[in-house]
Amino acid sequence: MNGDSSALPHLPLRRAMASGDRRRVRRGFSRTRQHGDFARHASDIEKRVTTLSVTHLQRRAVAGVDPKLILAFELSANVDAEDFRRAELRVLDESRGTFVIAFADDPQLREFKSRLERYGEGIPEDEGRKGAAYEAFFDSITEVRVLEPDDRIADRLRESLAEMDPDVELRLDIELWHPGDGELGRSGWRTRE
């Protein structure tokens, strides 16, 4: 289709773009900083993830299942799932916007910590930048913790349970996460039957 509305006289089309100058789209960190002390915020996050990582590494595989390091990130703003992927974290759930559940294939979180270290260095003076490396990502993180049982209950289910008689039998549809290869997941299931 060449944009000529005369080719389709039954479908009158108007030009969607208004005339005038185009506006430049601003990229980068556009919201108010939550944490002005980059080094301190980076240090707080680093201490927390190191503690979680060490605790995880001390856990043993149960029934042949090697548990993944699943983390809950509480955020002050929405963060693109791609930013988590670049830090080598796989997003399992981002449906609540400012609460993201992700897991790490690398329980020592090397790439995450490497990026965190660069963020902690602050704004480089010689590069003429206005923000620290990865600032939009790390500045949005208000808390990192392990996934807790209450995190697994969706808001809608929580509301329904609050209104429900505790003696009523309840059927649940359970969702299992397997972010790896589908065939690998099916083969693992068969060995446990």
Instruction: pLDDT tens for the chain, 193 residues: list them.
Output: 445 545 556 655 554 444 444 444 444 445 678 888 899 999 999 999 999 888 887 776 665 556 678 889 999 998 999 999 999 999 988 877 788 888 888 888 999 999 999 999 998 887 677 889 999 999 999 999 988 888 877 778 788 888 999 898 878 777 666 656 666 556 655 444 4
DSSP state of 28: S
Sign of the C-alpha dihedral computed for residues 117, 120, 124 and 130 taken in this order: positive
For residues 54 and 65, what is the distance between their CA atoms, to the nearest angstrom?
18
For residues 184 and 182, what is the distance between their CA atoms, to the nearest angstrom?
5
How do beta strands 89-93 and 141-146 pair?
A: unpaired
Say what the pLDDT of residue 75 is.
93
134 within domain boundaries? yes
181 within domain boundaries? no
Say what the pLDDT of residue 19 is.
47
Which residues form the domain of 113? 38-150
Say what the pLDDT of residue 7 is.
59
Q: Who contacts 87 (Cβ-Cβ below 8 Å, separation ≥6)?
A: 111, 112, 115, 137
Q: How many domains is the chain built from?
A: 1
178 within domain boundaries? no
Answer whether 72's CB lies under 8 Å from 144's CB. yes
76 within domain boundaries? yes
Say what the pLDDT of residue 20 is.
47
69 within domain boundaries? yes
